[in-house]
Each structure stands twice: as C-alpha cells, then as structure tokens.
Structure 1
Amino acid sequence: MLRLTTIIPLLLVSLSFAEEDAPKLDTGDTAWLLVSSALVMLMTLPGLALFYGGMAKRKDTLNTIAMSFVAYCLASLVWFAYGYSLAFGEDIGGIIGSASKIFLSGVGVDSLQDTIPELLFVMFQLTFAAITVALVSGSLVERLKFSAWVIFVVLWVSLVYVPIAHWVWGGGFLAEDGALDFAGGTVVHINAGIAGLVGAIILGRRRDAVLLPNNLPLVVLGAGLLWFGWFGFNAGSAVGANGLAAVAMLNTNIATATAALAWMFTEWLHRKKPTVLGLASGVIAGLVSITPAAGFVNVFGAFIIGLTAGPICYFMVAKVKEKLGYDDALDVFGIHGVAGIIGAILTGVFADPSVNEAGKGLLYGNPGQVITQIWSVIVTVVYSGVMTAIILFVAKALTGLRVKEEEEITGLDRSQHGESAYNIS
C-alpha cells in the first residue's frame, strides 16, 4: 500500500509533464499561417506572373505569365507526392529526408507541426517551392520551349529545391553546421538566381536581348503584390503569431524601402533619371536581401542590408551583366542571386541574439557565423549550378530547349500557345 501511495502521485506528475511537453494547437498561430500561406501563393500568382509578364516583350507576355502558372501547378503536385517527405521527413545522413510521408502518408487532420496543423505546414512550404522554381523562368523567357519548361520544373523541384530545403530547414548538414536562413536567402533566392544564370548561359542570347517592358504598370502592380505577399513569406516563417513575426515584418518593410530608394538614387546619379522599372527592381532587391536575415537582425541591421543591396544590384544589372555578356532576360541572377548572397553573408554579420537567440553574428562576438554563411552560399551555388546544367541537358535530349528562330521572331505567345496578350485590331 505504501508503495502504491508513492508511485501513483509520481505517475500523475509525470503524465502532467508529458501533457505540457506535447505539442498543442494554437489557433492564433494557425490563423496567421493560413494567411501567410495565401500571401506567399499570391506572390507567384498573380504577383510574379504580372511582374515578369509586364517586363517581357509584348509578343511573349502570355508565355511568360504561363511559365509562372504552370510552375505553381507542377510544384504543388511534386510537393504533395514526395517533395514534402524528402525535404522535411526524418533526416537521412544530413542529405535527404525519409520517404515515410510520401503522398502525405501519416499526415492527418490531427497531426501537428509545433503549434499548427502539419497539413498547414505542408501548404506553407509548398508555396515556397513553387515560387522558387517560378523565379528561374525570368532568366529563360522569350526563347525556351514550353515543353522543356514543364520537364525542367518537375526535375528541378525534385533534384535541386528539395535537397537544399532539407539541408537548411529539414535538419540536414547545413542546419547542423549552424547556417542561418530565416525565410530563403539560400534555399530560394541564391538557388533560383544561380539556376537562372546557368540556364541563360546554356540557352544563349536572344535575337533581341534588349529589356524593353511591354507594360510598366503591370510590372509595378506585380512588384507591389510581391511586397505585400512577402510579409507572409518572411513574417510567416516565424511559424507563429508572435514577436518574432512582428520583427520579421518590420525588417522586411524597412530593408525594402531602403533598397528601393538606394537603387533609385544610384540610378538617378548614374543615368540622370530615376526610372520606374529601377524603383520596382530596387524593391525586389530589398525584399530578397532581407529574406535570410528577417528574423535574426534588428531594424538597424535591416536598414544596412537594404542600403547595401540596392546599389550593388543596380550596378550588377546596369554594368556587370553587359560586360560579361550573358543574357539573363529579367535579371534573376543580378537581383535574386546577388541580393540573396548579400543578405546571407550580412546575416552572419548582423544576427542579433536579443532578436533571436538562435543567431549570433560578427557584431555580437561570433565571427565564425560569417564563415558558416559563406560556406552555405558556396554549397548552394555549386550544387544548384551543376544540377541545373544536368537537368537542362536532360530536357534538351527529350524535347530540345530553344524554339526555332522564326518562332522567336513571331513571339512565344503565338508559337507556343496560339494566343496573343493584346488582341488590338
């Protein structure tokens, strides 16, 4: 009897601790991630579709928009079938996740990821995979076969995005090394920027490589929608309705506004006129640069990151691309790749442990974090570049990559889809 009176209270106490430690659904966190998922979806459709579609030539508008649309659809199915499992399943050797959740096996209505339904986490991460591959299209527009793009999307999400997402966010080796990437500096933007650069080099230059937007209001509308959706992208990556989400949202806005103005004034001094296209491009440079740092730095760090990204990306697009001679049609590498690298490295400088105890940068006594950030950049650049080249050569063997010269002259709206964006009599 004495033993029972001792054991029973201990069991009750241990059960109470187990209940406290078990994950519990938080309705506030769930509501915020529902909104964030919708916001990130909005970034691809219609945000990126309009941003890219407005920058393309008039005869290629619909094809450019269609590339974002089909990328979102295909990435959704890849993610559901096996992408989520391989990215966020139980780690295997630091390289890939397990196949235990293929076709979302075992992920039910009551499954939780921290304080939100796991199905919602699946949806949130799906939108990241979709916009990442859609970003790549901006380097390849106006000369890539639509059939080749379909093949590329499936293979690239499967073989490039999924592994890198696991390395950084799914418990892989870069996470173990201590790499900081709050919302996708390496996983999304460096990854897409390098893929775009490699694709542009392999495809070769267009007959007319001049960037002459067919509809600047569409570009500005797309940029505005991207800025709006990016609050879900960055603040949603806190995976909760909390102070960290608030910091990430404010940092996103400050860095973006700073980079947009920095690009505008740099262009104004260099070319004597501040263009609307330049202002919109500066917005994107700011959004990209703060993405890896949004939940790690304070507002001053966000300001410096935006101030750095705006002018550097401007000169990358205005001068360096021309000197190097590659035809990155809509400047995916010059903005996403370069701003992503800037943001990733400066995260290692400005990460403030009072904002997020998971990150401590150079200014707070940890110079090794900069080395770790550079290492994560190098790994992403090498892997994305090599695998993108292989995938493009596979697509070339299956369908060919470039449209015929006469199809490029006619425009891809007519040659690939039999339609026109502007049916003006």
Structure 2
Amino acid sequence: MVNTGDTAWILTSAALVLLMTPGLALFYGGMVRAKSVLNMMMMSFGALALISVLWVLYGYSFAFGDDAGLGLIGDPNEFLGLKGLMEDTTSEAGGYPVMAFVGFQAVFAIITVALISGAIADRAKFSAWMVFTGIWTSIVYFPVAHWVFDFTVTEDDGTVTHTGGWIANNLAALDFAGGTAVHINAGAAGLALALVLGKRRGFGRDPMRPHNLPLVMIGAGLLWFGWFGFNAGSALAANNTAAVAWVNTMVATGAAALAWLLVEKIRDGHSTSLGGASGVVAGLVAITPACAAVSPIGAILVGLVAGALCALAVGLKFKLGYDDSLDVVGVHLVGGLVGTILIGFLATEDAPAGIDGLFYGGDVDQLWRQVVGALAVLVYSFVLTYLIGLAIQKTMGFRISEEDEVTGIDTVEHAESAYDFVSLGGGSGAASLTGQARAEARNTEGATRA
C-alpha cells in the first residue's frame, strides 16, 4: 500500500535537491572571475545532464542492486535501465514507490559530481570535464553510494531479501545523508584533480576575487533551501526523523555562519558576505551526516566547530601550494570529516539514530567506525580520482593552455561571454572580453617582470 504522504515528501525533497545544482552553479559562478562564469556554471549543468542518463542506464543498479560481493558494488544487471521498477509496487523498506527513491538518489549523484568542479575552476576543458564526469561517477560515486546508502533488508523471520554495502551494514558507521558519500568523496576528488591540473596562472600573486558576490549569496540561499530536502528528505518519510533532521539542519547552518564570520572578524578585522555564504555551506556540509544522530544543541556545536575549522582550512592551499580554486577541500572535505567524526562524540540516544557518543556516556565504538568510514572513502576517492585525472590529462588533455586561460575560458571553450559589453563600447561581447583578458595578461606580465 503506497503511503501518499511519504511519497509526496520524497518527491518534493528530490525536487529540492535537484534545485541545489543550479544553486551551486550560481554560488560557484559568482565566485570566479567574469571571464570564467559561464564555464563554471556549465560544469554543473553538464553534470546534471549526463548523470541523469547514466543513473537510469546502470548507476542505480550499481548503487542499489543486490550486493555482488564483499559489500563493494551492487549487481549491475539487476536494475539495468531500471527494468522491473515501473510497476505500481512499494519499496522493500517502506510504503513509497521504488521510482520515488530512484529519483531521490539520482539528484544526490548529480550534486556530488558538480561539487568537484569548484576545485578546478578557470582551467579545465569542458569536453575533458564531461569525460571525467562519466568515468568518475561510474567507478567512484556509484560504488561509494552502495557502501554508504544501501542497507541490507531482513524480514521478520530472519530472511535476508537484499544485501547492501559494507560501510552501512558491516562497519555500521552513521551517515544519514552523505557526509562520506557526497562531501568527503567530492572533497577528496577535488584535491586530487587540483593536483593533477596544477595551479592557475597567477595563483598566490593575483587577487582572483569573486566577480559577483550577489550571485554567490543567491546561490548559497538556494543551497540552504534545497538542503532541507537533502537532509530531512533522507528520512524517506514525513515523520519525526525528518522533523529532527530539518531543525538540526537549520540551527547547525546558522551556527556555522556565525562562527565563520567571527573568525573573519578576529583574523581580518571584518566579516564578509563571501565568508557568510561559505559559512552557510560549511554548516550544511557538516550536519549532513549527523542530522539524525545529534540533538539541536549538538547540532549547534557541530556548526560552530565546522564554521571555525573550515574558515581556517581554506587558507591551507596557500601554505601547502595546491590550487583548490573555490575551496572544495576546505569546505567539503574538512566539513564532511568534521560532521562525520563528531558523531562519535556528540551522538545521543535521544536522537532518531539512537546511539550515544563519547560525550553522552558512550564508548569509542562508534567513534572508530566513523573514522574508518571517513578515511576509507577519502583514500578511495583520492587515489581513483588522481588516476582518472592523470589518464585524461595524458590522453586528451584536461587543462586548457596558458594562453587560453589568459584569454578567458568562456570565450575559448564556449564562444560566449557572460556579459554583453556592446552597449558599453561597441564590438562584440566576446571581443570586448578578449580585450580585457589581453590587458590583464599585459598587466600580469608587467608585474612579473617588475
């Protein structure tokens, strides 16, 4: 029997999560320079288009098919092309159509890939990005989703009707909505790709300031809005668990934004809109795995720790020399680690997950499980992503040329510019943008010689 209320909530949540990818496009698009904004947004929309298709063809089966062995990947043939899932049947776990769950999980795959793009802004070929998107999703995200999100189903008589992934079932690490599968996964991949592609021209020397902070704020607002579907929707029912996750998501995000702004005020003497937006995302990332395991007070603590640590972590790229363009590592990898590991300290039996962490009388049992799960995904994603990125770079080339980078990736890769300068000075918008890029190149070369 289909529960129409739960089904409506899952489909609404799926739509909210889908909105997060255009929101991310705005967030990332505003953070880059004017000559890169279209390419930045196209990387998110390209991922949305491609993963939508791959998920139906084989992705769902890889992630949620019956385990093919050792909890590592689902049976690729069980739901190939979503065969057998269009019947009017409910899922094994609850009273909603399986296709509702298919749609909900599809948008998780999409946003995970889109997140990675921020680490390589300004310098990646769009064609190479699309090739990377297809390969990475197939051999990194789909298996990791099986590890984390696919739960074994056991009937009342003890009969196992479905076997899931190793992190969710054998390790029993808690990750309610994707701290490992989404954020640590994307953050580790972003670091690997940043190392493969190398630094942008002028990194550490030129300001490279965001060209449109209102876009950044709009994008952050859409992400915060959509994230309620991301977290509360992961309850897969309109119930108390969803309500707890909703409140924890709201309060942790607010606390993280405040913490980030405070760090900026103490360190730099002022609090910025970019810092506020980044703090919002850091809080959302950190509470994602923990939103059903902690109390609202625990969620505030998660947000405060994540906001402060992520604000400090974004500066590591300058000290360590890797060019993570839009702070995917500092926000998503660090934030994901914070939220996943803090479960071992701040989880309370009173929350829907029903487990006590160290600060609530528990022992280290849950803590070590959280650490192992987080590190397993981090290492797997980093190593595989580095190898994929290196293979693409050595074959078709992943990075645009230095000349094209100076000219502007929007003009070179898409033959377009985000802003039409015709009314300001005649000529085509692309030509005006190219002229600006040439002037920038001359100024950069002059500064270098000086």
Shorter-chain TM-score tier: over 0.9
Residue 98 of structure 1 aligns with which residue?
A: 75
Is the Cα contact below 8 Å between 1:297 and 1:350 reproduced in 2?
A: yes
2:393 maps to amino acid: K
1:292 aligned partner, one-letter code: P
The structure 2 residue matched to 1:143, chosen from 111, 123, 146, is 123
Task: Find the aligned partners of 2:277 and 2:261 in 1 and give their Cα distance.
Answer: 9
Q: Write out the 4+ residue segments of structure 1 that deviate beyond 4 Å after TM superposition.
A: none
| Kept after mapping to 2: 8 A contact 1:191/1:380 | yes
Structure 2 counterpart of 1:29: 6
Give ranges in structure 1 of 5+ residues lacking alignment. Answer: 1-23
1:181 to 165, 175, 180: 175
Residue of 198, 203, 224 corresponding to 2:192: 198
- After superposition, the C-alpha distances for 1:155-209 in whole angstroms (9 at most, x for unaligned) are 1110100111101111211112111000000000000001001110111000033
| SS of 2:286 mapped into structure 1 | helix
1:348 aligns with 2:326: no
In 2, the alpha carbon distance for the partners of 1:76 and 1:398 equals: 26
Match of 1:74 among 27, 50, 72: 50
Deviates more, 1:353-362 or 1:232-241: 353-362
The partner residue of 1:172 within 159, 165, 168 is 165
The one-letter code matched in structure 2 to 1:185 is: G
Q: Which runs of structure 2 are paired with 1:400-419 in the superposition (5 Å)?
A: 400-419=397-416
Q: Which residue of 2 aligns with 1:108?
A: 86
Query: How big is the shift at 1:357?
Result: 4.2
What is the CA–CA distance in structure 1 between the aligned matches of 2:380 and 2:251, rounded to whole Å? 32
Change in CA separation of 1:228 and 1:375 when aligned onto 2, cut-off 3 Å: same
Q: Determine helix, strand or coil for the equivalent of 2:124.
A: coil
**TM-score in terms of structure 2 length:** 0.87
Q: In 1, Cα distance between the equivalents of 2:287 and 2:421?
A: 42
Distance 1:233 1:316 in 2: 25
**Alignment match, 1:55:** 31
Query: Tell me, what secondary structure is at the counterpart of 2:398?
Result: coil
Q: What pairs up with 1:288-327 in 2 under 5 angstroms?
A: 288-318=285-315, 320-327=316-323
* Identical amino acids, percent of aligned pairs: 52
CA shift digits 1:205-230 (9 cap, x unpaired): 00033441010000000000000000
Say whether the 8 Å CA contact 2:63–2:146 is kept in structure 1. Answer: yes
Pairwise CA RMSD of aligned residues? 1.0
CA distance, structure 1, for counterparts of residue 355 and residue 137 of structure 2: 28
Which is worse superposed, 91-100 or 380-389?
Answer: 91-100
- 2:41 maps to what in 1? 65
Asked if the contact 2:292/2:353 (under 8 Å) is kept, the reply is no
> Offset of 1:324 from its aligned partner?
0.5
Letter of the 1:189 partner, please give it. Answer: H
Contact 1:91 1:98 in 2 (8 A): yes
Deviation at 1:391, TM superposition (A): 1.0
Q: Does 1:282 align with 2:258?
A: no
> Amino acid of the residue matched to residue 273 of structure 1?
H
Q: Report the TM-score when normalising by structure 1.
A: 0.92
Task: Give 1:394 shift.
Answer: 2.4
Alpha carbons 1:109, 1:119 under 8 Å: kept? no
Residue ranges of structure 2 left out of the alignment (5+ in a row) = 151-163, 423-450
